[in-house]
A and B are shown apart, each in its own frame.
Chain A
Amino acid sequence: MHRFETGGNSTFDYGIIVVVWAGLLFLTWATVTFTGARPVRGVGLPLAIASVKASLVVLFFMRLRFEKGLFRLILPIAIMAILVVSSLVFSDVFLRY
């Protein structure tokens, strides 16, 4: 398939990239500011914000939103593998301590 048939120049938008970057910096500030602040404690909030940041990088910087077919399955499959392995590990850890 010729390269020009796979999306074209219109999908390369400088503005969106800059806006996403600003959002990432804001989320980093939010992570540092609110982690540990009451009433939310623990690892949940920073990991949730990290997941949002990671999603922005994957979708907009890595352009996964423009991909089709098998490309869209690779990361979900990897995440599922992580969840399965994590479940097995934590089922042992929680019973051990």
Chain B
Amino acid sequence: MNYPIGGSSEKHRDYTGAKLGMWLFLATEVLFFVGPLLLYAAYRYRYGADFAAASSSLNLAIGSFNTAILLTSSLTMALSVAAAGRGRAGLSMIFLLATIILGGVFLFDKYIEWGAKIGHGIYPSSEGLLKLKRGEVIFFGLYFFTTGLHGLHVLAGVFLLAGIFVMAALGRIKQADFIKIENSGLYWHIVDVIWIYLFPLFYLVK
């Protein structure tokens, strides 16, 4: 049983329970993405050559740059949590802000990339897409769905981290209780892990 620390005015906290809940949620997030990736695997097995052709039309430079951006955002997020753990509130907020900015850069790149594809007439159910080979049509359907789903998760993460930044600015995150920033970091890292797998599966099909 957890007793209040410092008198009856101390709020009861369950650090282990809070983190366990986040890990369980992240496990469901991973399972959530496995569904479309299984579809991908089945159709890649069936239409290997079409998948390679479609993949080669994606912008590898932007994809690689986005991967580096997301990995660097994971770095700044981990550093933010580390700084919070060391009681360095100001430094933690700086790294948190850097993470939010890098997340925004990722989303902007995605906007540029999708915009180029849509500008060329390649988007779900477009005439330009439906003229392609069957495997290519399936590839782009999976591409827009999974990277779009991932992009929504990045957007949600950016909003989450912005909220955490505000809480930190208001002094509600302390060295003695920084589970909020720690859990937010766990979510951000899982979003990065998902992209680590999406990148080679869509951009590096040979």
Contact = CB atoms under 8 A, between A and B. Distances in A.
Given A14-B82, A74-B23, A54 B15 contact: no
Q: For this complex, into which size category does the number of interface residues on chain B fall? A: 35 or more
B60 interface: yes
Interface of B: 2, 5, 13, 15-16, 19-20, 23-24, 27, 30-31, 34, 38, 41-42, 44-46, 60, 64, 67-68, 71-72, 74-75, 77-79, 81-83, 85-87, 175-179, 185-186, 189-190, 192-193, 196-197, 199-201, 204-206
A1 B2 contact: yes
Interface string A52-91: 0110011011110000001100110110011001100110
Given A12-B85, A61-B75, 10 more contacts: A11-B85, A12-B82, A13-B82, A43-B44, A50-B196, A50-B199, A85-B34, A86-B38, A89-B41, A97-B46
A61 B74 contact: yes
A93 B81 CA distance: 43
Contacts of B81: 12, 63
Interface string A1-39: 111101001011110011001001100100110011000
A93 B74 contact: no
Interface of B is mostly: helix
B74 A57 contact: yes
B30 A78 contact: yes
A3 B78 CA distance: 18
Nearest to B182: A63
Given A57-B189, A77-B27, A89-B42, A17 B200 contact: no
B34 to A, nearest CB: 5
B197 A50 contact: yes
Contacts of B38: 85-86, 89
Given A21-B74, A57-B193, A58-B193, A28 B68 contact: yes
Interface of A: 1-4, 6, 9, 11-14, 17-18, 21, 24-25, 28, 31-32, 35-36, 41-43, 46-47, 49-50, 53-54, 57-58, 60-63, 70-71, 74-75, 77-78, 81-82, 85-86, 89-90, 93-94, 97
A47 B200 CA distance: 7
A57 B34 contact: no
A32 B86 contact: no
A85 B41 CA distance: 13
Contacts of B46: 93, 97
Nearest to B30: A78
A18 to B, nearest CB: 7
A3 B71 contact: no
